[in-house]
Amino acid sequence: MSTAKTAEIAIFKRRESEARSYCRSIDAVFTSASGSELTDAEGRSYIDFLAGCSSLNYGHNDPDMKAALIDHIAGDGMAHALDLHTDAKGAFMEAFEAHILKPRDMDHRLMFTGPTGANAVEAALKIARKVTGRTNVIAFTNGFHGVTLGALAATGNSYHRGGAGTTLNGVTRMPYDGYMGKSVDTADLLEKMLDDRSSGVDAPAAILLETVQGEGGLTAARPEWVRRVAELARKHGALLIIDDIQAGCGRTGRFFSFEEMGVTPDIVTMAKSISGFGLPMALMLVRPKHDVFGPAEHNGTFRGNTHAFVTAKVAIEKFWADDTFQTGLDKQSLALTAALEELAALIPGAFLKGRGLMQGVDVGSGELAGDICARAFRKGLIVETSGPDDQVVKILAPLTTPPEVMTKGLNILLDAARDVAHQTKFAAE
């Protein structure tokens, strides 16, 4: 490590908590970013296939959002407004209604929760419990919904659960689609347990799921499974909550990950890319009949991050006012699949996971996947792993990545995989 760099990162070693994580393997000090590329303090640039874990679906510093935000700040627009009415919030809501909700026949209301995904999940669980008067929530194997105590109870990962320091209650765990192999439809088990008055599964307030498990290893549920779960929720008086925090905002190729599945969730949680610019913002969509919180019953100081409303409005209007953007995603998605098939072919037993622009390759071990990502980083690509054993190389490039940058990034990844495959083979011999 250069002396300059050592000096730059000394403050982090000295004063930042051991909880820091990504910066351990990706140990540059980043200074600027544009589109799908990052630059560090030493002037080196990187292609970004992590995109803030899907928080930067439109890339870094989108010029239109940037301009709107600078204008807003320069004009002394509101920054912080609690849950007061502001022009910026109103304009976002108008855009979201016009371009997202109405075209999809969704009558949902918007609740601006504290600006983290976990907070939206906490609000969703609370409102579902209030609506139904029940406490049990059904969540699935390998689900990830945040690490505050209410959300963490629904999260599957044992490392995160272990951090709770107390018991995590109120959630029944059920196997996600495909968990028991192709011959078993896990919705059968859910149905039987819900129908059986002696199963020990208390009547649920909600069924909570991701249609693609972003942290859990990019497992994608089949639409027919999601439909059956939705029907079971309805039959048993439970609310269907789709956590679209990572898979939403176009990541799977549509604005919502559940579009074209034939389900209307009672509640949708959103965060990550909803501001468009990577600014903290979270949203809970809830059907009017379930909008039962009293004033400030669930509150939070930063529920009115007005800067985020400014960029979020631009994002909606720029990308979702017509089909152009979405159509492009379909093409990109096919290209990504093709490249990843090439990658999978390099690693014996590797196979593809995911859907849309949220795909990856399960390479069989966390060590292997980590090695590929580490080599890619050294070659100028930022990419990360996912899954219970971190065994999936996960691609979360900005959806706006130009084809040539995409190709360049995928080539780096393939190079890294080839190095690893070669070395592994060599070691085996």
Which residues 262-321 are close enough to bind a copy of itself by CB under 8 A? 271-272, 277-280, 284, 286, 291-302, 305, 307
CB of 334 to a copy of itself, least distance (A): 28
User: In this complex, which beta carbon is closest to a copy of itself, that of residue 66 or of residue 318?
Assistant: 66
Q: Is 355 left (phi over 0), alpha (psi -120 to 50) or beta?
A: beta
User: CA of 325: how far to CAs of 33, 330, 332, 402, in Å?
Assistant: 22, 9, 11, 13
CB of 425 to a copy of itself, least distance (A): 28
CB of 412 to a copy of itself, least distance (A): 18
Instruction: Say which residue the tokens 């301009």 belong to.
Output: 67
CB of 331 to a copy of itself, least distance (A): 26
> Contact region for a copy of itself (CB under 8 A) — 30-38, 313-321, 337-345, 352-360?
30-38
**Residues of this chain, 242-261, that bind a copy of itself according to CB under 8 A:** 245
Interacting residue with a copy of itself among 4, 6, 163, 334 (CB under 8 A): 163
CB of 114 to a copy of itself, least distance (A): 4
**Residues of this chain, 339-398, that bind a copy of itself according to CB under 8 A:** 387-389
User: In this complex, which beta carbon is closest to a copy of itself, that of residue 201 or of residue 417?
Assistant: 201
**Residues of this chain, 119-158, that bind a copy of itself according to CB under 8 A:** 119, 122-123, 125-130, 135, 139-143, 146-151, 153-158
Torsion angle of alpha carbons 139, 140, 141, 146, nearest 10°?
Answer: -50
Ordered DSSP codes for 105-139: T---EEE--SSSHHHHHHHHHHHHHHHHS---EEE
User: In this complex, which beta carbon is closest to a copy of itself, that of residue 41 or of residue 374?
Assistant: 41
Q: How far apart are CA 250 and CA 227, in angstroms?
A: 20
Would you state the structure tokens that stand for residue 195, as one six-digit string? 């129908």
Contact 261, 223 (CB under 8 A): yes
Interacting residue with a copy of itself among 42, 44, 45, 82 (CB under 8 A): 82
Residue 22 touching a copy of itself (CB under 8 A): yes
Residue 335 touching a copy of itself (CB under 8 A): no
> Contact region for a copy of itself (CB under 8 A) — 79-87, 255-263, 345-353, 407-415?
79-87
Interacting residue with a copy of itself among 4, 6, 16, 235 (CB under 8 A): 16
Contact 138, 171 (CB under 8 A): yes
CB of 394 to a copy of itself, least distance (A): 14
Interacting residue with a copy of itself among 64, 81, 223, 365 (CB under 8 A): 81
In our burial notation (b when 16+ CB lie closer than 10 A, e otherwise), range 224-249 reads ebbbbbbebbeebebbbbbbbbbbbb
**Residues of this chain, 398-427, that bind a copy of itself according to CB under 8 A:** none
- Of 261, 259, 252, 397, residue with least CA distance to 330: 252
Contact 339, 403 (CB under 8 A): no
CB of 202 to a copy of itself, least distance (A): 6
Interacting residue with a copy of itself among 75, 322, 323, 349 (CB under 8 A): 75
Residue 217 touching a copy of itself (CB under 8 A): yes
Q: How far apart are CA 80 and CA 77, in angstroms?
A: 9
CB of 181 to a copy of itself, least distance (A): 9
Contact 351, 131 (CB under 8 A): no
End-to-end CA distance of the chain: 33
Residue 18 touching a copy of itself (CB under 8 A): yes
User: In this complex, which beta carbon is closest to a copy of itself, that of residue 249 or of residue 339?
Assistant: 249
> Contact region for a copy of itself (CB under 8 A) — 189-197, 253-261, 335-343, 405-413?
189-197
For residue 90, what are the contacts with CB-CB under 8 A and spacing of at least 6? none
User: In this complex, which beta carbon is closest to a copy of itself, that of residue 171 or of residue 220?
Assistant: 171
CB of 338 to a copy of itself, least distance (A): 29
User: In this complex, which beta carbon is closest to a copy of itself, that of residue 48 or of residue 371?
Assistant: 48
Q: Is the dihedral of CA 45, 46, 52, 56 positive or negative?
A: positive
Residue 4 touching a copy of itself (CB under 8 A): no
Ordered DSSP codes for 350-411: -EEEEETTEEEEE-S-HHHHHHHHHHHHHTTEE-EEESTTS-EEEE---TT--HHHHHHHHH
Q: Is the dihedral of CA 212, 98, 146, 46 positive or negative?
A: positive
